[in-house]
Amino acid sequence: MNSSAHLLNRREFTKTTLLAGAAVASGVLSVRAAAPTRIRTGVIGCGSVSGSYLPELSKCPYVEVVSLCDIRPERARQRATEFKVAHHYPHIDAMLAGEPFDFLINLTDMQEHEHLNRQGLAAGKHVWSEKPIANSLAAGQKLLRTAREKKLRLWGAPITVQSPQFAFMARALAQGALGRVAAAHADYGHEGPNWSSFFYETGGGSMPDLMVYNITSLTGLLGPAKNVSAMLSIVTPERDITGKGRIKVTEEDNAMVLLDHGKGVISHVQSGFNYFNPHGHDGSGEQRHTISIVGSAGFMGLVGYDWAPLGVDLATHQQPKLERHVTDAKGYNWQQGAALAAECLATGRELLVTPEHALHVLEIIITARKSQKSGKRVNLTSTFRWPILG
C-alpha cells in the first residue's frame, strides 16, 4: 500500500492549523499541538554523503526513515544499524516492493541518479536527488514533467540558495547596493575524492560535483545565463581509488566556465580536482572569498564556501571599507536539503530551491562540455524563476 494518504496537503495543513488556533482562542486550552506529519522516507545510496544526510534526517520531526538501499548490501546494513532503520535492501526493485514509503532520497553515484529518479517517480514517490538530477537536460525535463503529471515533487541538490548569506547577497543586489553589476568570480576545488571512481568517469567530473554549487549561487544571484564558453581539461589522467586501484580519468578534472547573464553581466567560475586546498571538506576552515561580485558602486565577497558560508563582506561608495555581515548560519547547513523537502511535503512550506533551477545548472554543465568540444560559445535554452528572494 502506498501511504500517500498520510500526507497533509497545504490546504489540509492550513485548515488543521486554523482549527487549532481557533480552539486556543476560544479558551479550549486542553488542545494539544498535533504531532507533525512524518514523511515515510527511503534512502538509496549508503556511501559517504549518507553519513551527512542521515543525522539530519534522524533529527527532523517531519521524517521517518523506514528503509535504506545500496547495491553494496553491507553498507545499507551498516547504516540501518547505525541509524536504527528497520528495513534495508540490496536493490531498488526490492526496496520499492518492500516497506511502503512516500519519499525517495537518492544519494547514489552521479551517473545513477537519472534512472533511479525515474523509477522512484514511476512508483509514485516524491524524489530528492543529489546532483545532478539527470544526465541530460531533456531527460531531466522529462522527469519533471512526469513528476507534475503524477502530482509528485522532485528536487535536486545543492541548496546554496537557502543560506542566510545568499539571502543577504540577493537582497543587496535587488536593492542596487553594487550599482550597475558588471562581473563575478567563483571557485571551488580540492585534490579530489579517492573513495569512488565515478567522480572521474564519463558523466562525472569536477563540474557536476563541485562547480555545481558555484553555478547555482551565481545564477541564483545574477539570473539565468544566456550562453556559455568553457575550457575543460584533464590534469591527472590516472588516479588511485581505494579498494579499486588505478583508474583512467575520462571526464574533466579542471574547468573554467564563462557565463553571460544578459544586460552586460558576465561571470567566471572555475573548479577542479587538482587544487591544493588545506581545508579539504572542512567548510569552517575556508575563510577567503570564494564568490565575489563587483559593480559600479560596490563589491561583495562571500566568506567561505557557498555550501557552508561564514559571512558576506560588502564595500560601497558610501561605506568603502569592507564590512562583514551575516556571520550567523541561522540553522542552515548544506546537508539539510532532503529534510527541508520533507518539511515541505508535510507542511506546505515551500523551498527556494526549485527543480527548474537545478535543470538550468545541469544545462550549463552539459553545455560547457559542448563548448569545450566545439571551441565555441553555446546558447542555453532553459531558465528558472528569478530573482530568488526569501
Ligand X SMILES: NC(=O)c1ccc[n+]([C@@H]2O[C@H](COP(=O)([O-])OP(=O)(O)OC[C@H]3O[C@@H](n4cnc5c(N)ncnc54)[C@H](O)[C@@H]3O)[C@@H](O)[C@H]2O)c1
Residues that bind ligand X (CB under 6 A): 44-49, 69-72, 75, 92, 107-110, 112, 116, 130-131, 195-196, 209
In whole angstroms, the minimum distance from the beta carbon of 69 to ligand X comes to 5
In whole angstroms, the minimum distance from the beta carbon of 279 to ligand X comes to 14
- Whether 165 and 173 have beta carbons less than 8 Å apart is answered as no
Q: Which is nearer to ligand X, 70 or 102 (CB)?
A: 70
Q: How far apart are CA 23 and CA 53, in angstroms?
A: 37
**C-alpha grid cell, residue 107:** 544519494
Q: Which is nearer to ligand X, 4 or 333 (CB)?
A: 333
In whole angstroms, the minimum distance from the beta carbon of 150 to ligand X comes to 22
In whole angstroms, the minimum distance from the beta carbon of 307 to ligand X comes to 8
Q: How far apart are CA 319 and CA 336, in angstroms?
A: 35
In whole angstroms, the minimum distance from the beta carbon of 132 to ligand X comes to 8
In whole angstroms, the minimum distance from the beta carbon of 250 to ligand X comes to 17
Q: Which is nearer to ligand X, 108 or 219 (CB)?
A: 108
Q: Which is nearer to ligand X, 44 or 346 (CB)?
A: 44
- Residue 145: CB atoms within 10 A of its CB come to 12
Q: How far apart are CA 339 and CA 349, in angstroms?
A: 12
Q: Which is nearer to ligand X, 39 or 110 (CB)?
A: 110
Q: Which is nearer to ligand X, 196 or 367 (CB)?
A: 196
Give the residues across from 254 on adjacent strands: 233, 272
- Whether 226 and 260 have beta carbons less than 8 Å apart is answered as yes
In whole angstroms, the minimum distance from the beta carbon of 45 to ligand X comes to 3
Dihedral sign computed on CA atoms, order 271, 112, 344, 385? positive
Strand positions, DSSP E, the chain: 39-44, 63-69, 87-89, 103-106, 126-129, 154-156, 181-189, 227-233, 238-241, 245-248, 254-260, 266-272, 289-295, 298-303, 311-316, 323-325, 378-379
In whole angstroms, the minimum distance from the beta carbon of 46 to ligand X comes to 5
Q: Which is nearer to ligand X, 40 or 131 (CB)?
A: 131
Q: Which is nearer to ligand X, 53 or 166 (CB)?
A: 53
Q: Which is nearer to ligand X, 47 or 100 (CB)?
A: 47
Longest dimension (CA), the chain: 72
- Residue 244: CB atoms within 10 A of its CB come to 12
- Whether 271 and 207 have beta carbons less than 8 Å apart is answered as yes
In whole angstroms, the minimum distance from the beta carbon of 308 to ligand X comes to 11
In whole angstroms, the minimum distance from the beta carbon of 301 to ligand X comes to 24
φ, ψ for residue 63 (rounded to 5)? Answer: -125, 135
Place of cell 547504516: 79
Q: How far apart are CA 92 and CA 76, in angstroms?
A: 12
Q: Which is nearer to ligand X, 45 or 311 (CB)?
A: 45
- Whether 140 and 256 have beta carbons less than 8 Å apart is answered as no
- Residue 26: CB atoms within 10 A of its CB come to 9
In angstroms, the Cα distances linking 183 to 117, 190, 295, 313, 317 are 36, 24, 7, 16, 17
Closest residue to ligand X: CB criterion = 47
